[in-house]
Chain A
Amino acid sequence: MSDEETVQELSAELICEYLTKAIEDLKETNDYISYATLLDIHLSDAERYSDDEKSLILKTLIKVLEENPDISYEIGWDLPELLLGFFDLEWDFEGSLLRSTDVIKNVMNAFDVIAKSGNPKELFLRSIELLSGLDYSSLVGEDDKASKIMDIKLHVLIELLSTSLKRISTIYPSKFLAMALAALLKSYVSYNNVTSNVRIIARRLYLFARDYIPPLKPVDYIEQHGLTQEEADKLDDDENYLQRTLLQSFLTHIFGISFKTRSPSNSLHLYGSLQSKNTGKFPKFVIKSEGYEDDQTSSTKILFVRIITLMLSYDIEIEDEFTKLKEESVELFSNIDSNLEEDEKIQNVLKIAINDKVSHLFHPETEKIPINSSGLLVSIIYHALETQKILPISVSEAIALALRFLSPGVMSESFNNFGLYDAVLFWSWAAIRNATSSDFKNIPKYQIILYLQILVFYSSTTSDSDYRMITITLFTRVLSLIDESIAYDFIINTLTTAPYENAKACIILILKDLSIRERVNVDDISDKLSKTTITKEENKTLPKLPKRHYIELTKSRLEDVYALIRETIDDTFQENGEFASSEKFKLLLSYINFLITFKNKFAGDEIIEIKKACEQKVKNYKNSNKNPPSELQNGDNIEFLTLSLEFL
Chain B
Amino acid sequence: MSNFYDLAPLDKASKPFPFSELKDKVVIIVNVASKCGFTPQYTELEELYKKYKDQGLIILGFPCNQFGRQESGTNEEIQSFCQLNYGVSFPILKKIDVNGNDADEVYKFLKSQKSGLLGFKGIKWNFEKFIIDKNGEVFERYSSLTKPSSLEEPIKKLLGL
- Assuming A317-B100, A317-B101, is B119 touching A309 (CB within 8 A)? no
Question: In the complex, A319→B102 CA distance in Å?
Answer: 10
- Please state if B120 and A313 are interface contacts (CB–CB under 8 Å): yes
**Bound Cα distance A317, B119 (Å):** 15
Contact with A along B83-114 (1 / 0, CB 8 A): 00000000000000001111000000000000
Stretch at the interface among A237-245, A419-427, A471-479, A508-516: A237-245
Q: Across the interface, which residues of B come within 8 angstroms of A319, CB to CB?
A: 100-101
If A312-B100, A313-B99, A317-B101 touch, whether A243 touches B118 (CB-CB below 8 Å) is: yes
Chain A residue contacts of B37, Cβ below 8 A: none
- Choose one: A237, A306, A312; the contact of B68 (CB below 8 Å): A306
Q: Taking the complex as formed, is B53 at the interface, i.e. its CB lies under 8 A from any CB of chain A?
A: no
Say yes or no for B39: interface residue by CB 8 A criterion: no
Q: Does A314 contact B (CB under 8 A)?
A: yes
For B118, list chain A residues within 8 Å (CB).
214, 240, 243-244, 247
Q: Does more than half of chain B's interface fall in helix, strand or loop, or is it mixed?
A: loop
**B120 x A309 contact (CB < 8 A):** no
A318 at the interface (CB under 8 A from B): yes
Contact A241 B101 (CB under 8 A): no
Say if the beta carbon of B82 comes within 8 Å of chain A.
Answer: no
CA gap between A312 and B122 in the complex, in Å: 6
Q: How far is the CA of A318 from the CA of B102 in the complex (A)?
A: 11
A241 touches B119 (CB 8 A): yes
Say whether B100 contacts A315, CB under 8 Å.
no
Residue-wise interface mask of B (123-135) relative to A, using a CB-CB cutoff of 8 A (1 in contact, 0 not): 1110000000000
Is A94 positioned at the interface, with any CB of B under 8 Å from its CB?
no
Q: B67 contacts the other chain (Cβ, under 8 Å)?
A: yes
- Bound-state CA distance A549–B125 (Å) is 56
B119–A244 CB distance below 8 A: yes
CB-CB under 8 A from A318, the residues of chain B are 100-101
- Cα of A237 to Cα of B115 in the assembled complex, Å: 12
Say yes or no for A320: interface residue by CB 8 A criterion. yes
> A227 within 8 Å of B by Cβ?
no
Question: CA of A241 to CA of B125 in the docked complex: distance in angstroms?
Answer: 21
How close is B14's CB to chain A, nearest CB, in angstroms? 20
Contacts of B100 in A (CB 8 A): 312, 317-319, 387
- Identify the interface centre among A237, A244, A247, A313: most chain B CB within 10 Å of its CB: A313
In the complex, which residues of chain B have a beta carbon less than 8 angstroms from the beta carbon of A210? Answer: 124
A462 and B124 CA atoms in complex are apart in Å by 39
Q: Nearest Cβ distance between residue A42 and chain B, in whole angstroms?
A: 41
Interface size, A (range) = 20 to 34
Closest chain B CB from A237 CB (angstroms): 8
The smallest C-beta distance from B93 to any residue of chain A, in angstroms, reads 21
User: Is B117 interfacial (CB 8 A cutoff)?
Assistant: yes
- B43 on the A face (CB < 8 A): no
Instruction: Please tell me if B72 contacts chain A, counting CB pairs below 8 Å.
Output: no
Closest B residue to A246 by CB, please name it. B118
Is B66 located at the chain interface by the 8 A CB criterion?
yes
Contact of B101 among A240, A313, A314, A320 (CB under 8 A): A320
Would you call A312 and B99 a contact (CB within 8 A)? yes
Question: Are B123 and A213 in contact (CB-based, < 8 A)?
Answer: no
A176: min CB distance to chain B, Å:
14
Contact present for B68 and A244 (CB under 8 Å): no
Find residues 54-68 in chain B having any chain A CB closer than 8 Å to their own CB: 66-68
Instruction: Indicate if the CB atoms of A244 and B66 lie closer than 8 Å.
Output: no
Q: B124 contacts which chain A residues (CB < 8 A)?
A: 210, 310, 313
- Asked if B147 CB lies within 8 Å of chain A CBs, one says no
Residue of B67, B101, B102, B118 with most chain A CB atoms under a 10 A cut-off: B118
Chain B residue nearest to A306 (CB atoms) is B68
Contact flags B32-73 to A (C-beta < 8 A → 1, else 0): 000000000000000000000000000000000011100000
What 0/1 readout, one digit per residue, does chain A (313-341) give for beta carbons within 8 Å of chain B? 11101111000000000000000000000
Q: Of all chain B residues, which has the CB nearest A214?
A: B118
Write the A399-442 contact mask toward B (1 if CB under 8 angstroms, else 0).
00000000000000000000000000000000000000000000
Tell me if B25 is interfacial: C-beta within 8 Å of chain A: no
Question: Which chain A residues lie closer than 8 Å to B68 at the CB level?
Answer: 306, 309
User: Which residue from chain B places its CB closest to the CB of A237 in the assembled complex?
Assistant: B119
Residues of B with C-beta under 8 A to A312: 66, 99-100, 122
Question: B121 contacts A315, CB within 8 Å?
Answer: yes
| A193-246, CB < 8 A from B | 210, 213-214, 237, 240-241, 243-244
CA distance A134 to B120 in the complex (A): 33
Q: Which of B68, B100, B117, B124 gathers most chain A CB within 10 Å? A: B100
List the A side residues contacting B123 at CB < 8 Å. Answer: 313
Least Cβ distance of A252 to chain B in Å? Answer: 15
A214 to B124, CA, bound (A): 16
CB distance from B59 to the nearest CB of A (A): 23
A312 to B68, CA, bound (A): 13
B117 nearest CB across to chain A (Å):
7
Measured between alpha carbons, how far is A317 from B67 in the docked complex, in Å?
16
**B120 contacts which chain A residues (CB < 8 A)?**
244, 313-315
B residues less than 8 Å from A313 (CB atoms): 99, 120, 122-125
Q: Closest CB of chain A to B42's CB: distance in Å?
A: 22
Q: Chain B's nearest CB lies how many Å from the CB of A177?
A: 10
Contact partner, B122, options A237, A306, A314, A387, Cβ 8 Å: A314
Question: A315 vs B125: C-alpha distance in the bound complex, in angstroms?
Answer: 13
**Which residues on B sit within 8 Å (CB–CB) of A213?**
117
Cβ of A380 to closest chain B Cβ, rounded Å: 12
Shortest Cβ gap from A165 to chain B (Å)? 14
A529 to B99, CA, bound (A): 47
A314 to B115, CA, bound (A): 11
Residues of B close to A310: CB separation below 8 A: 124
Asked whether, in the complex, the Cβ of B119 is within 8 Å of the Cβ of A240, the reply is yes
Complex CA gap A241/B118 in Å reads: 7
Min Cβ gap B150→A in Å is 18
Residue of A with least CB distance to B124: A313
Option from B66, B101, B102, B117 in Cβ contact (under 8 Å) with A309: B66
Q: Chain B residues near A237 (CB, 8 Å)?
A: 119
Q: Chain A nearest CB: distance from B37 CB in Å?
A: 14
| Alpha-carbon distance between A197 and B117 when the two chains are bound, in angstroms | 32
What's the nearest-Cβ distance from chain A to residue B126, in Å? 11
Contact A315 B122 (CB under 8 A): yes
Nearest chain-A residue to B122 (Cβ)? A313
What B residues does A320 contact at CB under 8 A?
Answer: 101
**How far does the alpha carbon of A306 sit from the alpha carbon of B125 in the complex, in Å?**
11
CA A315 – CA B68 in complex, angstroms?
17
How far apart are the CA atoms of A226 and B120 in the complex, in Å? 28
Docked Cα-Cα span, A241 to B120, in Å, equals 9
**A309 surroundings in chain B (CB, below 8 A):** 66-68, 99
Specify which chain A residues have a CB less than 8 angstroms from the CB of B125 in the assembled complex: 313
> Could you jot down 12 A-B contacts, CB within 8 Å?
A214-B117, A214-B118, A243-B118, A244-B119, A306-B68, A309-B66, A312-B99, A313-B123, A314-B122, A315-B120, A315-B122, A387-B102
* Chain B interface (Cβ < 8 Å from any Cβ of A): 66-68, 99-102, 117-125
The 9 closest A-B CB pairs, nearest first, are: A313-B122, A312-B99, A319-B101, A240-B119, A313-B124, A240-B118, A315-B122, A243-B118, A312-B100
Q: Which residues of A contact B (CB under 8 A)?
A: 210, 213-214, 237, 240-241, 243-244, 247, 306, 309-310, 312-315, 317-320, 387
Q: 8 other contacts beyond A243-B118, A309-B68, A387-B100, with CB at 8 A cut-off? A: A214-B117, A240-B119, A312-B66, A312-B99, A313-B122, A313-B124, A313-B125, A315-B120
